Structure 1
């Protein structure tokens, strides 16, 4: 469930975790200095599952994006 009381699917929860991890790691080491394995480890998912599409759009599709 998110802040608005909407129940999220497992894929939505996972996508948000990847986006949160990507944003945090990009802030720490920059976009070019952040390997997918680091984002995956921070999000606690398999690197094979950590799709770059989710990471590339993290700043624009994430619910906390400004």
Structure 2
């Protein structure tokens, strides 16, 4: 291992772009802007995603 943290990025086709790594999720309205509009710990983002999935499945 080279000492670099592996990062994976998921981009949606919505008006908000999200970059997620092990520690945090960054939300951008424009990726050309190097500073995220807001940042959230990945663990919190995961809980939001789980709750949203439950909500949709109970629909």
Larger proportion of helix: 1
> Which protein is bigger by CA-based radius of gyration?
2
- Higher RCO by CA contacts (8 Å cutoff, separation 6 or greater): 1
TM-score normalised over the length of structure 2: 0.34
